[in-house]
Chains A and B, each alone.
Chain A
Amino acid sequence: MIILVIYAFLAIGIIFQTSGVIALHQFPDVYTRLHGSTKCTTFGSIFIYLAVIVYGAWFAFSGQPEYAVLSIHTLIVMVLLLVTNPTGAHAIARAAYRSGVMPKGAVVDMLKEKYRVGKK
């Protein structure tokens, strides 16, 4: 029964990760690609971590307490990923804009005004 839950988490995680990879190839420029890569990798990884946490807890409760460490460490990694992944995407997007990569086919670009005002 528990093994089915673990397989379900792994399957959901891999489906989302795969959609992130396909998004990288489908979208036209760096900003839209970042949409795919950040959201899908964060959410997909969370499900894979949940599978690991359930696996560790299962072994810990069936008489091997050293497996509890696995669950705790994975939980901490999950929180850290939730904080660092969007921050990294923000850094890439900002660096791309400042080095002159314009969003492709943008209908509105309010950031242009900020840097034009800054230069004068």
Chain B
Amino acid sequence: MAVLAVAFVFSFLFYLVLTAGSGKVLFWSIEEIGFGLVFAAFTAVLAKKFFCSTGTKLGFRSLNPKRWVFFLIYAIGPLFFEMAKANIEVAYRMITKKIKPGIVKISPGMKSDFGTMMVANGITLTPGTLSVDVDEKGNIYVHWIFVESKNPKLEDVCSSFPKWIRRIAE
């Protein structure tokens, strides 16, 4: 029941964000608010299984605003910086054609599926690395465009991401 209520509130807020500027009651028209309530109820019933689910091992702890603030800082700071570096790296490899590819294995040691997924996404967006496969223990197989060592340390492949993601997703 609590999950249903939280899912309802979030889908209603999302609907309000999508339709901002439609009328005169603050920013919304009466019709939009009414339909928003109806659709939010439908969405809450459909999303009940996935929302705040225990599959991520987070449950309601994902509603903690501290995690959202950390996520924003992570997205604007380290992630954006690494993406800029990644693009320059790709341009460099493309011009010089200096590549030494290989697939290496790293263990970020995330406890939840959600954390592993965020680390894999981060790896794909950082310089010279692309996640190819994941096994049941949360080890990630990474395609590295220029292999520096065959047993890489965690920091070589995904810089400071696991530290950040542990704060956000665990």
Contacts and interface: CB of A to CB of B under 8 A. Distances in A.
Nearest to A70: B21
B158 to A, nearest CB: 12
Contacts of A19: 87, 90-91, 94
A38 B132 contact: no
A68 to B, nearest CB: 5
Prevailing SS type, chain A contact patch = helix
Contacts of B87: 16, 19, 39-40, 43
Interface string B96-137: 010111111100000000000100110011001011110100
Interface residues of B, number: 38
Contacts of B124: 38-39, 86, 89-90
Contact of A106 (B91, B93, B103): B103
Contacts of A42: 83, 125
A118 to B, nearest CB: 9
A2 to B, nearest CB: 20
B51 interface: no
18 contacts: A26-B97, A29-B101, A38-B130, A39-B83, A39-B86, A73-B18, A86-B131, A87-B121, A89-B124, A90-B131, A93-B132, A93-B133, A103-B103, A106-B102, A107-B101, A108-B102, A109-B102, A111-B141
Contacts of A38: 124-125, 130
A76 B94 CA distance: 32
Contacts of A40: 87, 90
Interface string A72-96: 1100100000110011011001100
A97 interface: yes
B83 to A, nearest CB: 5
A83 B121 contact: yes
A65 B130 contact: no
A16 B85 CA distance: 12
Complex A-B, nearest 10 residue pairs according to Cβ-Cβ distance, in ascending order:
A86-B124, A108-B102, A86-B121, A110-B105, A93-B132, A107-B102, A111-B141, A31-B143, A39-B86, A26-B94
A72 B20 contact: yes
Nearest to B122: A86
B101 A114 contact: no
Contact of A72 (B17, B103, B135): B17
